[in-house]
Chains A and B, each alone.
Chain A
Amino acid sequence: GENVEQHPSTLSVQEGDSAVIKCTYSDSASNYFPWYKQELGKRPQLIIDIRSNVGEKKDQRIAVTLNKTAKHFSLHITETQPEDSAVYFCAALTQGGSEKLVFGKGTKLTVNP
């Protein structure tokens, strides 16, 4: 079935450093790739998304890149701050058979002051 792999599962960086989280997807027909941030005890919140007709999208310190040929996409956070600490989930909107949002298992990002 449709699958999204996410790496790493945990990531620890120093404040001010960059963080990169990578995801691969199995359904080549997937056309929408959102990223969610979930703080402890809170709901997942959409932080950035990208469509399959775009290779890169940036919003202030956050950027997402998409390589359709390799079926992978990445989240880049620059100048990390302690408030960036959270679990980040990537997702792909699969098309095969039934359209649904399939999530990666998440990356716990810790930004050390």
Chain B
Amino acid sequence: KAGVTQTPRYLIKTRGQQVTLSCSPISGHRSVSWYQQTPGQGLQFLFEYFSETQRNKGNFPGRFSGRQFSNSRSEMNVSTLELGDSALYLCASSPRTESYGYTFGSGTRLTVV
């Protein structure tokens, strides 16, 4: 079955702009989590959506937001971009059942200039 699909793979944006990233989970998975990966901080949890509801949120400013649609696809938005937002943004889907089984997408590499 198809894996987790993230689009776009690469993005270059200017400070102050906003950006929207997309994540399509594995078919049947209702949970989508987002992570920011940087060399210094590793993988940091942004938020998780399950059945169109945000379940958890990490310690990121309000400029980072997300949503989930009825087909479980999720988007995350970053407004007023800062240089420090440059990172690899990964999403992971999970069936949220006994097996958990978080599967990651290939990520979106965001560069803010």
Contact = CB atoms under 8 A, between A and B. Distances in A.
Contacts of A104: 42
Interface stretch (B11-19, B77-85, B104-112): B104-112
Question: Which applies to chain A's interface (DSSP): helix, strand, loop or mixed?
Answer: strand
Contacts, number: 49
A44 B104 contact: yes
Chain A interface size, under 10 / 10 to 19 / 20 to 34 / 35 or more: 20 to 34
A88 B43 CA distance: 12
Nearest to A32: B100
Question: Which applies to chain B's interface (DSSP): helix, strand, loop or mixed?
Answer: strand
Given A34-B102, A45-B104, 20 more contacts: A32-B100, A36-B104, A42-B106, A43-B106, A46-B103, A49-B101, A91-B43, A93-B100, A98-B55, A98-B56, A99-B55, A100-B48, A100-B58, A101-B45, A102-B45, A103-B35, A103-B42, A103-B45, A104-B42, A106-B43
Interface of B: 33, 35, 41-45, 48, 55-59, 90, 92, 100-107
